[in-house]
């Protein structure tokens, strides 16, 4: 199994349960690890034979920008569904970081894994 990753993808959205959070956009930071098999792409040197991380990033940016979830947990589940289903990824690890959510902490967020890691 190979992993294609995206680190520190920053996207602004409305997220949170408090009234003030519903009125402003906050920046969320996403880290993704996605299982794939890169051997065919390595042999053909063709982008169509691999997981296109630019396409994944664009899809997630569009989705998150247009969302207004209350919970980071809900957003994480929806993102996992998009990546698994639309990009035929068998497994992913997703970290969603809501920096600044706690004044006494630099980072707060969630990490989820979905799918089957073995190909």
pLDDT confidence tier of residue 119, bands split at 50, 70 and 90:
low
Q: In whole angstroms, give the CA distance from residue 115 to residue 12.
A: 27
Residues 6+ apart with CB under 8 A from 13: 25, 26, 28, 64, 65, 67, 68, 69, 75
Q: In whole angstroms, give the CA distance from residue 101 to residue 83.
A: 26
pLDDT tens-digit readout, 58-117: 999 999 999 999 999 999 999 999 999 999 999 999 999 998 777 888 889 999 999 987
Angle CA(4)–CA(116)–CA(88) in degrees, nearest 5?
A: 55
- For residue 11, give its domain range: 2-115
| Number of domains present in the structure of the chain | 1
Per-residue pLDDT, 88: 94
| pTM for the model | 0.92
The CATH number linked to 40 is 3.30.1130.10
Per-residue pLDDT, 104: 84
pLDDT confidence tier of residue 6, bands split at 50, 70 and 90:
very high
Catalytic residues: 98
pLDDT confidence tier of residue 21, bands split at 50, 70 and 90:
very high
Exposure of 42 in the CB half-sphere (CA atoms within 13 A): 5
Taking the C-alpha atoms of 91, 84, 56 and 7 in order, what is their torsion angle to the nearest 10 degrees? -30
């Amino acid at each position: 199994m190979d992993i294609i990753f995206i680190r520190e993808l920053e996207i602004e959205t409305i997220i949170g349960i408090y009234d003030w959070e519903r009125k402003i956009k906050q920046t969320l930071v996403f880290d993704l690890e996605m299982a794939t098999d890169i051997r065919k792409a390595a042999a053909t040197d063709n982008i169509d034979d691999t997981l296109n991380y630019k396409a994944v990033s664009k899809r997630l940016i569009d989705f998150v920008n247009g969302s207004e979830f209350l919970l980071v947990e809900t957003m994480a589940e929806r993102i996992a569904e998009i990546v698994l289903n639309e990009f035929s990824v068998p497994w992913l690890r997703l970290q969603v970081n809501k920096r600044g959510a706690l004044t006494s902490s630099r980072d707060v967020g969630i990490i989820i894994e979905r799918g089957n890691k073995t190909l």
